[in-house]
Structures are given as structure tokens and as C-alpha cells.
Amino acid sequence: MSQRRSKKPRVTPPHERQDWSALGKLPLRTIAGHLNSIDHVRFRSACSSWRTSSAKRPKTPFLITTGYKEAFSFYDHVREENIPLPSDVNTYISYLKSLGTVYIGIGCSFGWIALAMENQFEISTITLINPFTFARVELSQLTGLRLFGGRVLLSGSPANLQQRPMVVYHSVYPRHLKFQQIGDKQWKTIQHPSSLAEVIACNGRFYGFTSNELYSIDLQANNGNGAVVQLVLDLPDIFSGAPPPRWKFLADFSGDLVVMCSHNERELFLKVDLENLRLVLMPNMAHCLLFQCQSGSSFYIPGDHRFLKFNHDSHHIVNTGSPNHVIIIYAHHWKHPDCKIRSKAVPLGWITPDLNKS
């Protein structure tokens, strides 16, 4: 009769026996000091002892820049460091590239990035992705439409299940203005005789402009099919007797809709007062500046307001007090901290990590 061998008790390796929550505050504080802002949020959410060992950092947004086919770059302007794209997002972008042509830089709204993919059958798909939680929302398909050069904007966060946001797709060449509510099965097209130079989102609504006119994009008009409505606004006295101003860009500035024009060889910024249907002159702000917000961005340097140029000159940052609205005023241009980033990149907007815990 064979004897049954008794099993030896499993010896737990030392690293599994370690109570990591009991680490001293000094080593925890040292570790936390070497973490980038995203990892620092995750570090503080691990347990109460880790949270108390490191002070909460200011919740400041990251600047996102990218080329249409290049990887994103997240830049923490407070710590002056570049943060790599999370690996899950890189893996997903690689997966999309295996299916067709991927255009990365078509928009960033409310902490979500818009990715566009076109396959060989001219079927396009836009995916909204949260690069920090990896949550994804796929919009309905578009057929026979090239997405290169277009832009996607949202009226609110896709994470808001109580009130599904509206999505607007705008391109200049070819001229398209389409919209849908997240969850719709089809896009709706808004017909407009003029080509809007740009469309932005501000306070849950959408606006556009041509060189001569300002417009509101009313998605509820025309029985829910949308319409582009001209804004007739009174001008400040400074324009009395002068030719009509030629608009250069719109921007969302801390919740205010702002328009810029040139007048007597000066760049003027005017706030759109929709309640009183007038334009209010704002104080002189800068020669070169970048408006960034949750829904878009506009960069201006003389002769070029679309591309953000990176050189070796200094920069100066002014925070408006709101974590989602910051003006960056550049002395001339700004050198990107990552030397691998191209000399020209498109500013997509600001993104504030939403990891549910802080």
C-alpha cells in the first residue's frame, strides 16, 4: 500500500509578503517626486497611506500637439515634461492602422481624442477615445468622405450618459459640415453657401466664421436638421468710418466667445456679447498667443494661425485661474521638449486626465 505524500506548504516570496502600504513616508515621497503627473494621480489613488505621503498637485491640463499622421504628444507645462501616450492607446492606433489609413489629429474635446480611419472602400469611421481610461465611443460610419484635414468637436463629454453630447464634423476642402448626437445611426448634413473658415464649440454650442461674417450653428433649427445663422452684431466705436473688419479666427476664452481681426495694423480681440448682440473690445493681450480650451484651439502668429512652430526661443505662460482655460503667450516660438517632434505640429487642445480618483 503506497503512502500519500504530504504537500509541502507554499512559501510566500518576500515581495508578496511585503505590505507596500506600510512603506515610510520618505521613500514614498521620493518615489512620488519622480512620477509624471498621470502616474502621480494613479500613485495617490493606490491606498490612503500613499495618498497622504504626497501632496496633491494642481490639476492643470496638458497641451496636446500632433501631426495628422503622427503620434500625440502630451506636454505638462507646469513641470515642463513630455508624457508618452499610454500603451493601450498606441496598441489601438496600431490596430486601426492595420484596417486602413488613420488620421490622428482631427480633434480633442473635453478630454477625449478623435481618431479617424478610412478603409479601401471609402468608408470612414470616427472613434472617440479617452487616452487615460481607454474608454471608447465609435460614431456611425461616413461613406465617400475623406476625413483628412477635417475637425471633430463635441458639445460635452461622451461620459455624460444623462445628456448625450452633439458631435460636429467640419472640413474646408472639401467643404463639409455634418453633425450627429452620440448614439445616432446617421450623420446629418448642413448646407451653407459660404465655406466656413473654422468651427469651434463654446458653452455647448457651435460657431463659425468667414472673413466677413460670424455665424451660429443651430443644430435644432430646420426641424432638427440644423442651420447656419448669421450673427448681426454691433461693432465698437473704434470701427466707425472704417471698412468692415476681416475676421481671422474664433476662440473659446474661459467661456467667452472671442473673435480676432486686424485693424490699422493692430490685432484686436473682441468678445462676442450674444445677450446684447454686440462685440466688446478686449484689452491688448499679446503679439503671439495661443488660445486653448476644452473644445479646440487657435494659434496666431503673423501670417500663420494654424501651425504651432517649435524653435529655440523662450516662452511665458499665463494661467487664467481656470484649469481648463489657459493662455500661452510665446515670446517668439517655443522649442518642444522632445527633439523627435517635428518642427511643425497642430495644436489639438488641452486635456485634463480623468481617472475617477485623485
Q: How high does pLDDT run on average in the chain?
A: 77
pLDDT for 308: 47
Q: Which of 57, 75, 105 is where one domain is finished? A: 57
Q: Which helix (H) or strand (E) holds 222?
A: helix 221-224
pLDDT for 230: 95
Going by their DSSP bridges, the two strands 81-83 and 344-351 should be labelled as: unpaired
DSSP symbol at 120: T
Angstrom distance (rounded) from CA 350 to CA 242? 37
Do residues 258 and 278 share a domain?
Answer: yes
The answer to whether 63 and 350 have CB atoms below 8 angstroms apart is yes
If phi > 0 it is left, if psi is from -120 to 50 it is alpha, else beta; for residue 226 that is left
The amino acid occupying position 326 is V
Do residues 34 and 182 share a domain?
Answer: no
Do residues 155 and 38 share a domain?
Answer: no
Lowest mean pLDDT among 25-39, 69-83, 222-236: 69-83
Q: Is residue 356 a part of any domain in this protein?
A: no
Residue indicated by cell numbers 452633439: 166
Angstrom distance (rounded) from CA 169 to CA 208? 12
Q: What is the pLDDT of residues 279-329, one digit of tens each?
A: 999 876 555 555 555 555 555 444 444 444 444 344 445 545 454 455 554
**Higher-confidence residue: 252 or 8?**
252
Do residues 143 and 182 share a domain?
Answer: yes
Rg of the chain's alpha carbons, rounded to an integer?
24
Q: How many structural domains is the chain composed of? A: 2
Q: Is residue 14 a part of any domain in this protein?
A: no
Angstrom distance (rounded) from CA 281 to CA 161? 39
Q: Is residue 187 a part of any domain in this protein?
A: yes
Name the band, by pLDDT with cuts 50, 70 and 90, for residue 169. Answer: very high
Q: Is residue 285 a part of any domain in this protein?
A: yes
First vs last Cα of the chain: how many Å apart? 63
Q: Which helix (H) or strand (E) holds 33?
A: helix 25-33
Cell of 212: 466677413
Angstrom distance (rounded) from CA 58 to CA 78? 9
Q: If 0-12 CB within 10 Å is exposed, 13-18 middle and 19+ buried, where does residue 252 land?
A: buried
Do residues 151 and 51 share a domain?
Answer: no
Do residues 99 and 32 share a domain?
Answer: no
Do residues 50 and 62 share a domain?
Answer: no
Q: Is residue 62 a part of any domain in this protein?
A: yes
Do residues 149 and 298 share a domain?
Answer: yes
Name the band, by pLDDT with cuts 50, 70 and 90, for residue 267. Answer: confident
The amino acid occupying position 232 is V
- Structural domain of residue 201, as residue ranges? 58-351
Do residues 84 and 189 share a domain?
Answer: yes
Q: Is residue 302 a part of any domain in this protein?
A: yes
Name the band, by pLDDT with cuts 50, 70 and 90, for residue 333. Answer: very low
Angstrom distance (rounded) from CA 23 to CA 319? 36
Whole-model pTM? 0.78
Lowest mean pLDDT among 52-61, 300-309, 336-345, 349-358: 300-309
The amino acid occupying position 112 is W
Lowest mean pLDDT among 160-174, 249-263, 305-319: 305-319
pLDDT for 11: 60
CATH number at 83 reads 2.130.10
**Higher-confidence residue: 137 or 64?**
137
